[in-house]
Amino acid sequence: METDKATETSWTDALADFLAGQSGVEAIRLNAGDRRVEVATLGPVDLEALKTQLDEVLRSLDERLLASAPLGHAEGLQMTRQEGALLLQKPTCPTAPRFWKWRDFEWPEPEEMERQSDEEWRALAMQAVICGVALVAGWVTERFFQAPIWAAHGFFGIALVSGGWDAAKDAWENLRERRLDVHFLMLAVAAGAVAIGAWEEGALLLFLFSTSGALEHYVLHRTHREISALTKAAPKRARVVLPDGSVEDRAVVHLKIGDVIQVRPAELFPVDGTVISGESAADESTLTGEAVPVDKGKGAQVFSGTLNLWGLVQARVDKLATQSALARIILMIQTAQQMRAPSQRFTDRFGTTYTLITLGLVLVMFLIWWLALGIMPFASTEGTKSAFYRAMTLLVVMSPCALVLSIPSAILAAIAWGARRGILFRGGAAIEKLAEVDTVAMDKTGTLTEGNLRVALVESFPPGRETEVLRLAVTLDAHSNHPIARAITQHAKGQGIEPGELSEYQSIPGQGVRGRTVNGVTYVGRRELMDQGDFARWLAEVPDAPLGFSEVWVLNAGTMGRVLLKDEIRRGSRAVLKALAADHVRTVMLTGDRRAAASQVAQELGVTDVRAGLHPEDKVAAIQELTQQGHKVAMIGDGVNDAPSLAVAYVSMAMGARGSDAALEQADVVLMQDKIEKLLSARLISSRARAIIRQNLAISLGSVMVMAVAALFGIVPLTLGVLTHEGSTVVVCLNSLRLLFVKEPETTEL
């Protein structure tokens, strides 16, 4: 019963947090049976952002739990049931609901999305095939058999219906909303072609249009498949070890932070956690793309969706299912699909306004050809096509189908390519901008170096209290996720030293932490944090840490000392920096470490611009300075102290799923494998995508402009207009699909 109550609280709290964080959202209505989600809004609301956050919450909820949820209140929410639906709403006056605007949302199901997208593109492809077969049959019947004209027209009619079926549905939905788009234009042209007896040209137009539509949906399907593959990696149930030692089977969405789970060999870790007993190795390829097993012993972190290879382990739950590394990846990919690239906003203009302008121009030209130039309105002669025929040709070549698809098809293909290789782009803007970068600023620890620091020496002043120094350090650092803090915590556990009691805790960004232990106020952090008062004069006489070592100072009223740590240069850093230099990209190291340690790493790697001893605000100033000099700067980091500088960079990049939440939230690009070499892969696909986009725009704009001018002078037949226009659409889609087959660059460690 206690477990059920805690479970109920966990999901109602998730909904309460969602509603509390949305200023324009007043209520949410969930119907698990009908898979319906409705949200009541008041005033202007960013619907794309709302849907993204709502999907993250709903994905973690158990439909059975919603269907039988008891009524009451949850964190200030009023809960009621209306016709089988669960309604949660903020406290409000009785008249307020009259002004709410209810909006429908789809229940997020990545696997269902993959199935639907697969069915959609296959159905469109089948329609295109039927259209093509009927078109060929009509053409053969008309050319080679002495069949009645109605027989050929019958085949062409089948082609017109099958090729225009999907376009007709979309056009009807848009017309109901008083919008016009390219589907309407295509149907208008096809109808016009039939009206002047050009059945073959109308069928050809819709065949090519339906083929390009199938290709577009195939690109979308490939992206949905990547998301679904990640979602399938997350198990739905877990074994929870109860305090009495018994094991209980429980849904993953019901797990709470602090629960202990048991994971057997060949099973997937259900959530992110920390191993507390047992030893094994994990295959993290589903998360990072790296197939090399990662050893997992006591104190090691494990991640949702990764495979436990051989040992029986118990792990403490550190994050809820909705907050796991895998959930963050899925959310990032879904968000990226909704975020548009700068150049894509250019093509967004080709909607209702462009359609109306095109229809207006076609009408004007029809009147000019008819009334001003004396061309027959509907009847074509042997040497001159009718004004209506010319108008239909102009309408075909001016339809912006290829232009509308030229950018999103390339962006989606690039996102899918990156997702398969552990590179997550948060939208098209990141893909386009990364290729423009001419300066790369990098943090040292965790980016250029492994970030897996190990404690080399613990010193106390005066000697003899080293154990107490380490105990104070781990007491404060046990609450931090910084690589240095993790190294100290792991070393202390190896020495059998457990964290002490801590009554206060405060993070001092860029310098360290402050806390109140049983020994009084204690500071743990950089030398500069201790550099005050009488202690500063004494500290000046203490030599710096040896070259290549980092130091963490510990100070309270009765104890002072330091912990010396050693880091290793990340494998692949040299090759990446050499490749960037060959590409004329400037590299800058921005680090909070001492200059001596930073200079040694920079010298080994060949970094000429080193800026050491920086606080978070100093890193921000450095990037702003580079930006003011005209550079387009990409910043790569992984820690909380890197988040401000990531926010001001032209392109922000975070290292891996193990990076801090703050860094991941600010990042435009996430390198999931914790491998710096992925920077080169990301730049490669960015460069290729930009090239493909330029090619697509040249193809689409060029064909529209050239054929429009030719159509104005009446020198292009309708058949050629159809082939050129729809042919360019097919070429654009196929050209974008080439991105899926780009090979990753190979780097050789020097």
Catalytic residue ranges: 443
How many residues in the chain? Answer: 750
**335, 52 contact by CB (below 8 A):** yes
Q: How far apart are CA 405 and CA 399, in angstroms?
A: 12
Q: How far apart are CA 323 and CA 661, in angstroms?
A: 10
* DSSP letter for each residue of 583-598: TT-EEEEE-SS-HHHH
Beta-strand pair 439-442/586-590? parallel
Q: How far apart are CA 537 and CA 48, in angstroms?
A: 57
Q: Taking Cα atoms as reference points, which of 597, 194, 185 lies closest to residue 403?
A: 185
**508, 521 contact by CB (below 8 A):** no
Q: How far apart are CA 136 and CA 671, in angstroms?
A: 49
**260, 314 contact by CB (below 8 A):** yes
SS3 label, residue 689: helix
Question: Residue 46 phi/psi, 5° resolution?
Answer: -80, 100
3-state secondary structure string across 513-527: EEEEECCEEEEEECH
Question: Residue 428 phi/psi, 5° resolution?
Answer: -65, -30
Tokens representing residue 407 in the block: 């950018």
Helices and strands, counts by H and E, the chain = 26, 29
SS3 label, residue 376: coil
Q: Taking Cα atoms as reference points, which of 138, 127, 201, 121 lies closest to residue 168?
A: 127
- Residue 742, H or E segment: none
Q: What single-letter DSSP state applies at residue 348?
A: T
Q: How far apart are CA 602 and CA 584, in angstroms?
A: 18
Distance, C-alpha 750 to centroid of its chain:
33
- Nearest 5 degrees, angle CA 579-CA 333-CA 623? 45
The alpha-helical segments, DSSP class H, found in 558-713 are 573-582, 595-605, 616-628, 643-648, 661-666, 678-712
**672, 657 contact by CB (below 8 A):** yes
